[in-house]
Structure 1
Amino acid sequence: MHDLRAMAAQALSEIEGVFAKVSPEATETLLNEVLHARRIATYGVGREGLMMKALCMRLFHLGLDAHVVGDMTTPPLSDGDLLLVSAGPGHFFTVEGLVRAARQAKARTLCFTAQPQGTVPQLCDVIVYLPAQTMANDQGEATSILPMGSLYEAVLMVFADLISILLRERLGQDPAQMRLRHTNLE
């Protein structure tokens, strides 16, 4: 039988280890891209897609013009806009197609990834490298306690919320202002 506390400690240690390697320069670039974007759209597939939706929600709570690709109300992107995508393993066909479409429309593109040499990150204007295990490298001796790509997905979720705090500070807002933008239709 496994000790849940010991497992949690290992998972948290692995998440901490990834954050120790995240570039402050990439984080600063991300903040600047978001703050200078007229409109923001987010996209990811599978569990990464859920994390990107969570990021979009926080951007909306900050009062930014943020949308999830695929929602019927997502406006077109063009010059001055930003597409934020996640491609942890470096490539997904749908993500690649959306990045190409955004670039053709003259929007900026930013990719969160654990595989910066992958096809999708290399197409993007900005790469935010989150060096965590994904399904691209989840086999062998040095695997995370978390299954498949869960370490990357957990890091992406925490990273998104930490970014929202930094953005909130730069926008001169407080938590109460974010709360006012939360839906009342739950």
Structure 2
Amino acid sequence: MTLSELGSRATAEVAAVLGQALPDQAEAMSAPILNARRIALYGVGREGLMIKALAMRLFHMGLDAHMVGDMTTPRIATGDLLIVSAGPGSFSTVAGLVEEARSAGAKVLCVTAEPGGAVPRSADYVVHLPAQTMANDRDVSGSVLPMGSLFEAVMFMFFEILILHLRAVTGMSADDMRANHTNME
């Protein structure tokens, strides 16, 4: 397969998953975010990088969003939302943080490819992005992308589209978001 063919196949795979997830999953994720007093976010590995990208965009939206593990992340409590990623359905660190957030009275939203997994089953809200992860990357009919890359690529695009939806719902402009961008770069 040529590089152009690989690129076409990869982007078609991302588009196919987004076609299944939009608009329902974005709309389902919007209300918990907009109703949260404060938002904490967590993910592991490359999924964690996509969650960090979402945290940054939520901050650009003017929301009180923090990455779990940062020195300045405030205590989570009732009225707050923990957003986690568990593509294959479970990670031990994610499961532990979900338990801690729930015991503190916070709601939990899990982004996953495996809604029957342990972490999504313990969440208040589940966003299902039906893409290949490392849990099922050995299937010969699977993605051209390696390991969990399809899920991670879908996460990034889904989160950007979610932000566009949140902007429309709240009436925020691109300039409003830009005003929240750091000037320390």
Which stretch of structure 1 is more off in the superposition, 18-27 or 72-81?
18-27
Contact conserved, 1:23 with 1:129, CA < 8 A, in 2?
Answer: no
1:30 counterpart residue number? 29
The CA deviation string for residues 18-41 of structure 1, in whole angstroms up to 9 with x for no partner, is: 112116333222100000000001
Partner Cα distance (1:39, 1:116) in 2? 25
Partner Cα distance (2:149, 2:79) in 1? 33
Partner Cα distance (1:126, 1:75) in 2? 22
Change (3 A) 1:168 1:23: closer
Structure 1 position 89 matched with structure 2 position 71: no
Partner Cα distance (1:28, 1:149) in 2? 24
1:3 Cα deviation after fit:
1.8
Structure 2 runs not aligned, ≥5 long? none
Aligned residues: 185
Aligned-pair identity in percent equals: 54
The one-letter code sitting in structure 1 at the alignment partner of 2:80 is D
> What is the aligned-residue RMSD (CA, Å)?
1.0
Structure 1 position 185 matched with structure 2 position 177: no
Partner Cα distance (1:29, 1:176) in 2? 26
The CA deviation string for residues 43-96 of structure 1, in whole angstroms up to 9 with x for no partner, is: 000000000000000000000000000001000111110000000000100000
Contact conserved, 2:26 with 2:158, CA < 8 A, in 1?
Answer: no
Partner Cα distance (1:26, 1:179) in 2? 26
TM-score of the aligned structures, taking structure 2 as reference length = 0.97
Structure 1 runs not aligned, ≥5 long? none
Q: Where in structure 2 are the equivalents of 1:41-120 lying within 5 Å?
A: 41-120=40-119
Partner Cα distance (2:8, 2:111) in 1? 25
Partner Cα distance (1:95, 1:140) in 2? 25
Partner Cα distance (1:159, 1:24) in 2? 10
2:5 counterpart residue number? 6
The one-letter code sitting in structure 1 at the alignment partner of 2:62 is G
Any runs of at least 4 consecutive aligned residues in structure 1 with deviations exceeding 2 A, and if so which? 23-27
TM-score of the aligned structures, taking structure 1 as reference length = 0.97
